[in-house]
Structure formats: structure tokens, C-alpha cells
Structure 1
């Protein structure tokens, strides 16, 4: 007798679609996990955002600043430093004059690392050197030492975050401005402000309501600073929005991105700003009205 082999039943279209959706979700979750690992590696770097140990404000009179070598002062819209008698450490760097004075100028809202020094009693190596960051905020110079041995870095065990949820990946309408609007916002430190530009706005629909949020940063690298109703998150967070670079001759849909006239907001990637990790951040606050009137249970939670 000849044995007849039956063919396996073909999967139904609904089952195949479900399998494809599951595979897509798994791939997105793996990609998100890799992105989160990279984010935490970046935070752990020796002079990353876990290491600011103070925010010091020099005056017009040359004087020492707590924990730093040399004397520091402000003159003619520049910050100056020079070695001082009794120094037990030496500030070194490409632009540091060994015998002083060294001058440094940064733009409003900007910062730069001037140099590093090795505190007395520490072993040599970048893991022990303190980096000296110079910032200009609201017309005033400040010095922010970044210490790899800061308690915030030594005790860091990761950033708590919500589980990846594809429901928080939103394609939203965007309106780009012909010319950016210059606005002034608050900051994480009292008596400071930031001057930012608004390049456009997006409409976020949720539970029958639509909220319009302003985009700052730049037209090519927009950022969304926002607050929401979750009680598990920092007072405000930031989302860096990717503007897809399309292959010539294709549409946004063909490039597996949002449709024309929209931006994709992956709120799973909502981040804490530096101010959430230490008391010495000077981060800009969101524009008034950049508030989502519901809990965004996605992205990073408030640090422990």
C-alpha cells in the first residue's frame, strides 16, 4: 500500500499577521534593551552626568573655590584661573597655562571641560581625576567639578524605567515654523533662565483629548521637554526626537518611518535630565503648557 503524506495546513492570514506582530514586538524590545544598556554605560563614564560634585560661582575678586586648585575670578566676560600658593594639586589641560593666568570663554547656555586635576592622595588614572567644567548660565560663569568618585556615581545601580511598551510609540502630526520663536524658560537652579528656540509643535492625542507641545532643540534634532501626570517620574523629562533621513525617491512610509507631516515619538525613550541625578544640574525647564494631562508610564522613572 502506498502511504499518502498529507501537507501541513497553511497558517491562516490572521495567525501569520499575529506572528509577524509578535516578531516585530520582540525585535523592538531587544533593540530597546540594547539602547538602555548603552544609556547606562554612558551615565557610568568617569566624568558623565553622575559625577557633578558642586556648582561654584566665582566673583570678580580672585579667590579659591572649595575643592579646586588655584584661584578663580571673572573679568571682561571671561573666566580666569591661576595657580595659588599652597596648592596640593595642579590643573592640567591642553588650554591650561601652567603658570597662569588661564582664560576661558563659553557661550550662554554652553559649557566646556577646561582641564583635570588629581586630588592629593588618589592613585593616578582617569577614574580618579576630577574634570573641571566651565559653564555660563544667565550671564554668570560657574565652575562644576566632575568627580568620578562622587557618591552619585559610586552608588549608581541603574536607572529605574518602565517596561518597553509599543503602545507608547506615537506617530503625531507636526507643524514646523517658518522661523523659530525665541522664548525664555526656567531652569533646575533658582534665579537661572535659558533662552531657547521653538522650531515647531506636535499634537498628541490620548483618551479623546489632543495636547499641543512645543519642540525645541533644532529642526534637525528636535527635543521635547515635557511634564505629565505620573507620580513615578522626575518633575520633567526630555525626549530626543529622530527626524528620519529618507532615501531619495522614497516616501516616509517606504522608509519604515512615520507618514509625511508626522513625527514618531517613542516615549519609551523619555529620559531624565542631569538635574534628576545630582543637585548641580542647570537644565532648562519645559515651556509653559508642555504638559501631558495623563500619566506617561513609559521611559525612565525618577532615580532612586
Structure 2
């Protein structure tokens, strides 16, 4: 691919990345993350609530995490909240493991249930979030075609499992179908891509490098690759981007595992967010 076409392709990808990030329902819209306790949890903006929302009705309702593992909500009378856009009095809350988690909305804000290794919480979003309305934009390294690397692909038979810690202290297990081996400046490096969701048509790479914590975000950067073909895996570090936790304290991001901490300065992709205040 000619260099000018390649640069245009990366610039188009970055434009789409920015659009996803800044969408009304994107990662910048997060305004809260509240973990539930088993049993009843009162929810509202009143200070005496078990879950204190930063905005919304003083007494929104009660969320009960039952012994059967199901989570249900009963709205307080007069709360004005809607469940999936309907004025229901109560409902079971489906978590984000479902294609369409149940959404409870109030004013411009809303929340839905998330499950993280058995911990259940409320992810609260609002398109009027300060992180979105005061967003300072993204900074990237200049596009450099040399960082589009065709690595040697060594499959694992059977697939291995990689334990990846998260910013909230949990550990997530991902299948690793193989390893990518590449050379840069005369040295050899290895990286372990994972399968994020069964059936995915791409591989997910969570990595850190010698720029992490300096020019780039310290915890990790993400990128996706096409599936390996003919014993090769294309890793395009120009498409490396910051995880949600680079922009908000309310995300639950995986961190770069030791296996993917490269002793290499990857001067490609997204730089550290200059508006980070957490």
C-alpha cells in the first residue's frame, strides 16, 4: 500500500476512534461506578442512600441483589425514572453480559448493571458529563508505516490462558491462541494477543512499553489485529489507543500483563491524554 494511502487510512481510523469516544453514550459520558452489596441497596442522590448518585432524584428506588443471583429494581413512587424507556414500577436488571442490558434513565442520565468477575455494580452515564463537555482532544504520534509490523505467528495447541489484572483489583482470564514474534532495531520481541469475546474475528492486544507513564498512558494501551494468516500476524501500533481508564476513574480496564510489557519505545499510536485529572 502506498505511504500516502496508508497515512489516510490511519487518519480515517483515528477520526472514527474519536467519534466513538466522544459519542453521547461513549466512555467520556461516565459519571459514576457504584458497587452493590448483596441484598437491598437504596439508590438516589440523597446522602442517606446506600448508592449515592451524583445527580437524579433524591430517592430513585431500591435495587435488590437476590440470593438467586438476580438483580431487581423497584422504583420509588414519583421518582420519574424510566426502565428501558417505559414507566414501569419494577423489573429485573440484565447486566452488560447481555446484548441489551436494562437501562434505567432519569433526566439526561442513566445507569445499567455491570458484572465483573462476580462483582455487580451500576455504571452511570450522562452526555453532559464534564469529561465529555470539557474534552481536550486526542494527541497521537505521527503516522509511521514502520510500526505496521508483520510478526511471525506461533500458535498454541491447545490455546493457553492469560490472567490479566484490572484497575479495580479483579483478575480476568482470557484465552491466548498463540504468540506474535517480531524484530525491531535488531532485537526480538514477543507479544500475547488474546480472544476478548468467543467468536471474535479479531485479536485483542493489551500492552505497555518504555513510553508508558511518560509520553503514553501508564497502565496500558490497546489495539486490535486481524486474525493471523499464513503464519503471520499484522500488528499496527499506529492504531494503539488509550483504554477508557485514561479518561475516567469510573472504568474497569484490564492492565498490561507482564508478558506484554515490551522493553521497547513504541513511538506510535495515541499519546497520554493531557486532560487526565485522576
1:51-200 equivalences under 5 Å are 51-59=29-37, 60-64=39-43, 65-67=51-53, 69-75=60-66, 76-85=68-77, 87=79, 89-93=80-84, 98-105=88-95, 107=97, 113-119=101-107, 129-189=108-168, 191-200=169-178
Q: 1:262 to 1:232 in 2, by over 3 A?
A: same
Deviation at 1:105, TM superposition (A): 4.8
Structure 1 runs (4+) greater than 4 angstroms displaced:
none
Deviation at 1:62, TM superposition (A): 3.1
Q: How far, CA to CA, are the matches of 2:99 and 2:248 in structure 1?
A: 17
Q: How far, CA to CA, are the matches of 1:298 and 1:41 in structure 2?
A: 20
Q: How far, CA to CA, are the matches of 2:131 and 2:191 in structure 1?
A: 32
Equivalent pair of 1:112/1:134 in contact (CA under 8 Å):
no
Partner of 1:221: 202
Q: Secondary structure at the match of 1:38?
A: helix
1:120-170 deviation digits (Å, cap 9, x = unpaired): xxxxxxxxx323131111211010111111111001132111111111111
Q: Secondary structure at the match of 2:30?
A: coil
Deviation at 1:297, TM superposition (A): 0.7
Q: Secondary structure at the match of 2:31?
A: coil
Gaps in structure 1 of 5+ consecutive residues = 1-20, 120-128, 245-251, 253-259
Q: 1:85 to 1:99 in 2, by over 3 A?
A: closer
Q: How far, CA to CA, are the matches of 1:280 and 1:34 in structure 2?
A: 28
Equivalent pair of 1:112/1:133 in contact (CA under 8 Å):
no
Q: How far, CA to CA, are the matches of 2:109 and 2:104 in structure 1?
A: 5
Partner of 1:284: 254
Equivalent pair of 2:70/2:92 in contact (CA under 8 Å):
no
Equivalent pair of 2:95/2:114 in contact (CA under 8 Å):
no
The correspondence for 1:240, drawn from 224, 237, 252, is: 224
What TM-score, normalized by structure 1, do the two folds share? 0.77
Q: 1:199 to 1:97 in 2, by over 3 A?
A: farther
1:99-122 deviation digits (Å, cap 9, x = unpaired): 114343554xx7854214232xxx
Equivalent pair of 1:111/1:134 in contact (CA under 8 Å):
no
Equivalent pair of 2:207/2:221 in contact (CA under 8 Å):
yes
* Aligned-CA RMSD value: 2.2
Equivalent pair of 1:92/1:116 in contact (CA under 8 Å):
yes
Q: 1:153 to 1:111 in 2, by over 3 A?
A: farther
- Between structure 1 and structure 2, the one with the greater Rg is 1
More strand by share: 2
Gaps in structure 2 of 5+ consecutive residues = 44-50
